[in-house]
Amino acid sequence: SKRSWNFLLSLLKFERFQRLNAQWSNHLHSLLEIQYTSNRNNYLQLCHQIQFTLTIDNSLSIFPKLHQPYNELMIVIDQCVQNTDQEQCWAPLSDWIQLKLNTDQPILDLVEIKVMLLLNIYYNYYCNGQLASLNTLLPVIENILQPSSEELRIFRAFLQPEQYMVGYPNMNNSQDDNYLNNSFRLDCQDQEELNIRHTLVNLLAMIMLGGRQCFLWTFTFEPLKLQNTFGFGSTARTIIRHDSVHYDCGCIISETGELYRFSTREINENSLNVPAVYVAYFATFGALAWHLLLFDTSVQNLNGPILSSGAINAVEEIRFRIAGNSIRAKVCHFVRARLFLTYNFLSLLANEDGACIILNRCFEQIAQLTRQHNENLWIKPLFTTLNDQLKAEQEFQTRIYYPVHEQLGICKKFINSLYLQSQIQKQFQEYISQIPVHIQLTHFKTELNNPKYSELSFNILRHMLDSFDFLKMTRIIYDLSQFYFLLHQTYAQLITKDEFTTVNLQELYQRDRKYWNYSDNFENQNQNDKHLLIIENGIKAVNAYHHFTNGLIRPGACDETQRFTTITMKTPISYLVTGDSHDEGDIVMRIL
């Protein structure tokens, strides 16, 4: 996709450009650089904000009535901050709130005011490191806005993060150091981390605005209730259980950005697909991230009951190991990694600015539809049936993701019109907008998955495109078959039934080698080398499948999906061969 405006500005300051022609690079940079006002954070771009906070122009807006009040609120709070009378400084804010609420036809409701206030605090004071000027605001919020316990928890975390945001970095707790908490430092200047942070804050604000009827509220504030229900976006098609399939087990994006389907039992044209699934997972794991930032008990609530502790604490392979010196650090890294992954794959499709716009607009749309709950009964706090989950995913693609996706160009143009300040900037942006993008397979698949084409018979094509990664794995069938026959025919003669649980692959191979070494036939002696090659290829095949499925296999106990481990020459034979129980061991045949 096309790169963002900021990418170009950074490129002009890049060492190679400076070395080749510093005068030209610097002059062009000065012509194209956006000049921000002194009270605006350079790391907070317009694309990072909810739309009703940008301007009083409410065209294209999902919440048109909030534009003017937000602008008024911003002015009122600024007046309060400038007031040196400590006892009366917040009186204008109190009066403004009462005016909006206590009219014959109230202009705003209480939750709308809370959300606007939260975004104002974050954009204008948190991001600028000016929270000290709001140090007396919290009692006012408690007295006037009557926040729920969840809302009060949020305001405390934003107004006094060092005290109330769980895990806020400090010098006395290096054990829990992690990227999620570090991104909320008041002095954070990592642009990529801040992009994700801004989007997380917008997500939280829209969860507040939507309220308790939305599943994202449950993910944020009551994740333990997700147990024994169906997780939105999960391809597992089974309930979340602490002793079986966890939520993250069905939410796996491959290293190439493809959605790994845990189960193929319910794949149809309405299933959640790339790239809509990137937004869905950013929302659900973003909500879990907020649970980690707001609740002291968050780690024990998530690690095991909702998220797989086996995946969080994995040590078998380096690629599965989660960074962190404590369980909290590992859980935070685990959740943040999924945010980083989905954000970056979405950025590859629409660049960083486009990814932020898509995410923010989708969150706004979720909030709006949740508030119109009588017309959108598919939005639920919990999905107790698989049909409810599938219906919600279908509606998410049809009514949230694709409408936003199709308006992305218009939204970008609108935002560009707000911050481009000179004629040369506007002309350059217009020129860039007219340059065609290189169409990739992902663009084709994005359109193929568009619900407006669901009535056309593309099922075979969809299944084929969804199966590319799986079809590549069929190359291991031959090696697995050879390995299976070697263990069950040739090697079956070298071991008794009582030895299955004690003898490993290395020991069995040594018996085989000893047997053939007694033979005078040169061809028979070569069997050693053939058998060793079959074993080595078999081990590679099993471990390749483990890599492909992120260590998951079915059927397991009671026909449930379970985790399995990689194998070596030290692996017990009982783990590999077919025994009396169909859900224990028998890894080779279960893969086949």
Phi then psi for residue 379, to 5 deg, are -80, 120
Asked whether residue 370 falls in the same domain as residue 343, the answer is yes
Asked whether residue 91 falls in the same domain as residue 214, the answer is no
Asked whether residue 496 falls in the same domain as residue 557, the answer is yes
Mark 335-366 as b/e (b = at least 16 C-beta within 10 Å).
bbebbbbbbebbbebbbbbbbbbbbbbbbbbb
Using CA atoms, how far residue 391 sits from 210, 270, 383, 385, 388, in Å, is 19, 8, 10, 10, 5
Asked whether residue 407 falls in the same domain as residue 556, the answer is no
Asked whether residue 287 falls in the same domain as residue 402, the answer is yes
Query: Does 236 fall in a domain?
Result: yes
Structure-token pair, residue 385: 């049936």
pTM for the full predicted model = 0.83
Structure-token pair, residue 410: 């218009």
Asked whether residue 68 falls in the same domain as residue 29, the answer is no
Sequential pLDDT tens for the chain (592 residues): 556 667 787 888 888 888 888 888 888 888 877 665 545 677 898 999 999 999 888 888 999 999 999 999 999 999 999 988 888 899 999 999 999 998 878 889 999 999 999 999 999 999 999 999 999 999 999 999 999 999 999 999 999 999 999 999 987 778 899 999 999 999 999 999 999 999 999 999 999 999 999 999 999 999 999 999 999 999 888 999 998 889 998 898 888 888 887 765 545 555 788 899 999 999 999 999 999 999 999 999 999 999 998 888 876 555 556 777 899 999 999 999 999 999 999 998 888 999 999 999 999 999 999 999 999 999 999 999 999 999 999 999 999 999 999 999 899 888 888 877 677 777 777 777 777 777 888 888 888 888 888 778 887 887 788 777 778 889 999 999 999 999 888 888 888 777 877 888 998 888 888 776 666 555 566 777 888 899 999 999 999 998 888 787 876 555 566 778 899 999 998 889 887 666 677 899 989 9
Of 186, 127, 129, 198, residue with least CA distance to 353: 198
Domain boundary among 164, 187, 207: 164
Structure-token pair, residue 55: 């301007």
Query: Does 428 fall in a domain?
Result: yes
Asked whether residue 406 falls in the same domain as residue 441, the answer is yes
* N-term to C-term CA, the chain: 39
Rounded Cα distance between 348 and 266, Å, is 28
- The answer to whether residues 561 and 552 touch, using CB atoms and an 8 Å cutoff, is yes
Query: Does 170 fall in a domain?
Result: no
Asked whether residue 309 falls in the same domain as residue 445, the answer is yes
Kindly provide the residue ranges of all beta strands, DSSP E only, lying in 488-577, ordered along the sequence: 552-553, 562-563
Asked whether residue 460 falls in the same domain as residue 313, the answer is yes
Query: Does 169 fall in a domain?
Result: no
Of 421, 357, 447, residue with least CA distance to 4: 357
Asked whether residue 273 falls in the same domain as residue 150, the answer is no
What is the secondary structure of 383-398 as a DSSP string? B-SHHHHHHHHHHIII
Rounded Cα distance between 176 and 163, Å, is 16
Rounded Cα distance between 206 and 217, Å, is 10
- The answer to whether residues 358 and 408 touch, using CB atoms and an 8 Å cutoff, is yes
Query: Does 128 fall in a domain?
Result: yes
Rounded Cα distance between 50 and 21, Å, is 39
Asked whether residue 184 falls in the same domain as residue 115, the answer is no
Range of the domain at 57: 41-164
* Beta-bridge partners for 563: 552
Coil, strand, or helix at residue 321? coil
How many separate domains does the chain show?
4
Domain boundary among 138, 164, 190: 164
Domain boundary among 435, 466, 497: 466
- The answer to whether residues 542 and 588 touch, using CB atoms and an 8 Å cutoff, is yes
Asked whether residue 49 falls in the same domain as residue 115, the answer is yes
